[in-house]
Amino acid sequence: MTYDAIRQAYKEYGVTGQTGILDVRKFLEKEISPTIGSKIATLPQKTMGVIEDRLRGALFLDRVIKGDTFEQAAKQVIKCNEARNSVLYLDSA
């Protein structure tokens, strides 16, 4: 298993490149020409996206090392991410 194969699996199975929480404001700003101020306002979310990618990537690798296929590992990552989001939603309510 090579680094390129793992990196491709990250993309193919949706392990990285997504935020844990849907941000409508960010989507709308991307569609309507954003100002520099609004770009700066999205910096915390972009930073959190990088952190979340690292966390999901580590979980994915852990599952692959333990013998899961890429698909099984990705499903586990998604399951854990959904569970975390449910807890965060309940905590904020």
Please report, for the chain, the start and end positions of each structural domain, with discontinuous segments joined by +: 3-92
pTM over 0.75: no
12-16, 27-31, 42-46: segment of lowest average pLDDT: 27-31
Under 8 Å between Cβ of 77 and 60? yes
**Most confident residue range from 15-19, 34-38, 88-92:** 15-19
Q: Are 64 and 73 in contact (CB under 8 A)?
A: yes
Closest CA to 54 of 16, 81, 8: 16
Cα(87)–Cα(43) distance, integer angstroms: 24
Task: Quote the mean pLDDT of the chain.
Answer: 78
> Which pLDDT value is given to residue 15?
81
Residue 51 above 70 pLDDT?
yes
- Overall average pLDDT of the 2-25 stretch: 76
